[in-house]
Chains A and B, each alone.
Chain A
Amino acid sequence: MIRFADFSFCYEGMNEDTLKNINMEIKDGEFLLLTGRSGCGKSTLLRSLNGLIPHFYPGETKGDLLYGEKSLLKMLPSEIAGKVGTVFQDPRSQFFMTDTTRELAFGCENMGYEREEIISRVEKAVTDLELEQYLNRSIFALSSGEKQQIAIGSVYALAPKVYIFDEPSANLDHEATKRLAGIMKKLKSAGYTIIVADHRFYYLRDLIDSVIYIENGSIVARYTGKEFCELDKTLRIHKGLRTVYPEKEIDNKQDDKLAVKSRLGGHKLKVENLSFEYEKKQRILDNISFEASPGDVIGVIGHNGAGKTTLISVLTGILKEKGGKVYYGGKKLSPANRRRLSYLVMQDADYQLFTTSVEEELTLGISDVDSDLVSGTLDKLALSEYKDKHPAALSGGQKQRVTIGASLIKNSEVLYFDEPTSGLDYDSMIRVSELIKELSGGGAIIFLVSHDFEFITHTCTRMFDLDAEKMLDVNKGNLQMLAKKYFA
């Protein structure tokens, strides 16, 4: 059992407590979901459970935090290591080894187990979590979902009683999310205590025993799993929570009149028999053809490895096509022309921030800067007060808005978004969705690669299905078909 007894925490150098007077009990074998808006203190709570607080992230604690009879605050992270296992948000940055087998053994090796013990623990993890196919592979060749499974395996081999997951679905597509739910189900039925913090939680709806809702560092609401799943919609939106049943959002979908109307005028983007393959003769894209009009917001969908990212890379001109043509307004475009025309908002904003201030960032690469346009854009994106700040000091959502802002200044006519809602809470998701709708209303053509069903339903007017290689309208029928794929 874990018990928070009037626990508060203040990070070093901060004026206000990030966690305030937390009182709660987590029973053995309980499946607990922590939720709340970005920055509410969820991660801080998790960090205090695995010992990173107060040893790795220093600060001042008040009250106590008990694991059984012992205080977790008095234990070093290295003592907690075999008891509480943590799976972090970004699967890319939690690997110490370069191959999968040794990554699975990493924790056990640190614990100082004998060779035979290490081998049998890794063997158990591989058998129980069905990881055999991933053994002896290079970490860098795995997809995000595969990396995460290895990360869970590595924790599993240490045999902790408590599992902590920090936004585990943020970097996963829907298939990997489904597998993650499967693994969690296994862990739950084996009697482990599981604590998950996440913004998207539809995949946990059959697993959750209880839910804690955090606001400004305090617990403001507690629900049982059933109560939480039946939460009233207005209350849910008021609390900034994503839906538990994304497929039900289909019923609220209205036909987007605006997009249909604006489809009449402006330059069209036409793709004819586009093909691409990497060196090893694996055809990724095979004779793709479609047409997109201004005002279209096109969700690119398809199974993992169908070539969603490749399609975007070819269309933006980062990769050169192996066959086929791309036209804009009737003119054929070379990759260099396409780069000039397009703008790509990457999933990871850190790769896109080059300068030392937000204002400078927006105008980078532009020769004649219109200062009114810049200040207007800053206003629109609620970034005015940060204009002199270093982009690295902003939050994830703000960084993303800076990169979107740069596209507004560049006045790109075709925009591409790669997983724009990964790790965003409801409010930020809606804000991105509104911003995209505004851009498309202004006559831009927009492509989105996203696995976020709720977001697609809210935002897209059309979908390009790479599996069937055809363009679909976003209507109830097509969404239901997609929902079947995602949630069945």
Chain B
Amino acid sequence: MNQSIREKILAVSFHGTARLDPRLKLLLLIILGCVSFFINGDIPVLLLMLSVTLFVMAGSDPGWGIKMLITYLVISYLNTCLRYLTIPVLSLMISIFGVTVLKMIPIITLGRWVIKSTYMDELTVSFERAGMPLTVIIPFVVMFRYIPTLAIEYRMIRNTMRIRGVSDTVLKVLTHPFATVEYILIPLLMRCLKVSDELAASGTTRGMERENKRHALLKIKFGAKEYVILACTLCLVIALFVADRSEIGQYILWRQG
């Protein structure tokens, strides 16, 4: 009986790449995020997206990886179609918007995966080991904890707006976009203030501010595996940059017809 409780406490819900050290995950997010903005060729960018997808799929969340890859392909194609439309100014604007979205997709793919596949305590402990002060770690953890609740809070607010008849139809949202944003933001910010205050009080009474060395429930280590993956990533980055500057980078993958 007791053995099984112990086993349950130590059970791991994430597998594969999701069990890598949180520091590595965040490092990859930063590196690949920058790369996404510095390479432009169709093929190198697609390769980057493919690598991110494979990496995410190897870590507990294959569905998410595939979904984002498909989104990427669809937006790429639609964006290409725009080149054949010539509405002055507008098509340029939409095209720029499309390119920005495309650059964000690998970052979103990886970012959401990091949030969903990382245990909070491991994040805290690994930051601490990396020498970050508590004053930086605590806001970071609170932010991570708050992101998943945003969707819930947003839905609650939208529901009451519909009951109150405030921005409840598509027409009203389109004709009063700023008012709509304001009506969503005010209660959201009020809730944020209240929740963060209560969270901080609750954390304080459970010793959150103690400056001692912490241990996570499961062992974590920035070990050989992490270094190997980091090295592979750096090779990939170099390869992508080289490809981007060579003829491969000039090849136009997305065309109509």
Contacts and interface: CB of A to CB of B under 8 A. Distances in A.
Interface of A: 50-52, 55-56, 76-78, 80-82, 84-86, 88, 90, 92-99, 101-102, 105-107, 109-115, 118-119, 122-123, 126-127, 132, 135-136, 140, 151, 154-155, 158, 313, 316-318, 339-340, 342-344, 346, 348, 350-356, 364-366, 392, 406, 410
A84 B204 CA distance: 12
Given A98-B148, A102-B217, A110 B207 contact: yes
Contacts of B121: 97, 102, 105-106, 109
12 contacts: A56-B204, A88-B198, A93-B202, A96-B141, A96-B142, A99-B13, A105-B217, A109-B217, A316-B163, A339-B163, A364-B164, A364-B166
Which secondary structure dominates chain B's binding surface?
Answer: helix
Given A93-B195, A354-B186, A365-B166, A107 B206 contact: yes
A140 B149 contact: yes
Ordered nearest first, which 7 A-B pairs have the shortest CB separation? A112-B212, A81-B207, A94-B202, A110-B207, A107-B206, A365-B165, A93-B198
B9 A110 contact: no
Interface residues of B, number: 60
A88 B157 contact: no
A80 B205 contact: yes
B145 interface: yes
Contacts of A354: 161, 164, 166, 182-183, 186-187
A56 B200 CA distance: 9
Contacts of A155: 206
Given A82-B207, A98-B120, A351 B213 contact: no
Given A95-B145, A316-B163, A111 B207 contact: yes
A81 B165 contact: no
Interface of B: 2, 5-6, 8-11, 13, 119-121, 124-125, 141-142, 144-145, 148-149, 152-153, 156-157, 159-166, 168, 182-183, 186-187, 190-191, 194-195, 198-210, 212-217, 219
Contacts of B10: 119
B120 A86 contact: no
Given A98-B119, A140-B148, A365-B165, 18 more contacts: A50-B205, A76-B209, A81-B207, A85-B206, A96-B202, A101-B11, A106-B121, A106-B206, A115-B216, A127-B2, A136-B8, A316-B163, A339-B165, A340-B165, A343-B163, A346-B160, A351-B160, A406-B164
Contacts of B204: 51-52, 55-56, 77-78
